[in-house]
Structures are given as structure tokens and as C-alpha cells.
Amino acid sequence: MSIRSMMNQRARVERGTATRTATGGPTRTWAVTAREVRIRVQPASTQLVLACAQMQMRVTHKSYFDQAVMLAVQDRIVVGGVTYEVRGFHDTDQVGRLRVALLEVQS
């Protein structure tokens, strides 16, 4: 099985910008920075959840990318109608896939 075939989901990457509402309250607007990105999202392991908790970071999932994608902490990744917030990055794994820690959020 090829690595690419394991990236069986498609994602949209969004970056937020702080703005103000018509009444002056703070809000975020989201702009798409990448579409149709091949990705694999899966629940975070207990080991990852505990390691992130030691850094005061809550995570629920992890993802793998097999292509170059510009990501920043607090970007959003939307996969199949589910929205995740980028919480942090791991190094690449042994075959060069970027590993990202995610938090599922209500959109």
C-alpha cells in the first residue's frame, strides 16, 4: 500500500484574521489558503493527549499531510464537514509526512 493511498481524505485549510463586528465586538473571519489537500485525520493516541496536556494544550486528533502545506497554529482544517484547529506540530515521520496535532471544534 502506498503512502499516498493512506491519505484518503481531502481538506480545506483556512486562516483566521481578527476583525470587528458592526457593533465593534471582536470576531474572526476565515480565508481559504488551500483546497483539496490530501490528508489523513485520526483520533489522537493517549500518549499524544498526555504529552500535549503537559504543555497545557488540548488535542483530540492528529493528522498527516503528504504534501507541502503552509500551516500555522490556530489555522482551521475542514474535513468532510468537521472543523479542526491546528494546535501544534510534530516533526515529520520516517517517510516525510508532516504530523499535526488538532482539536475538533464546533464551527
Helix (H) or strand (E) holding 7: none
* Alpha-helical runs (H) found in the chain: 3-6, 46-53
Cell numbers 481578527 correspond to what residue? Answer: 18
**Dihedral sign (CA 83, 70, 5, 43):** negative
Q: Considering only CA atoms, which of 21, 9, 101 is closest in space to residue 56? A: 101
Q: Is the pLDDT of residue 25 over 90?
A: yes
The 10s digit of each residue's pLDDT in 37-87 is 999 999 999 998 998 888 898 999 998 886 778 888 999 999 999 999 999
- Mean model confidence pLDDT for the chain: 86
Query: May I ask the CATH class of domain 3-17+28-105?
Result: mainly beta
Domain segments of the chain as ranges: 3-17+28-105
The percent of the chain in helix, strand and coil, each rounded to the nearest 5, is 10, 55, 35
**What are the phi and psi torsion angles at 45 (to 5°)?**
-70, 160
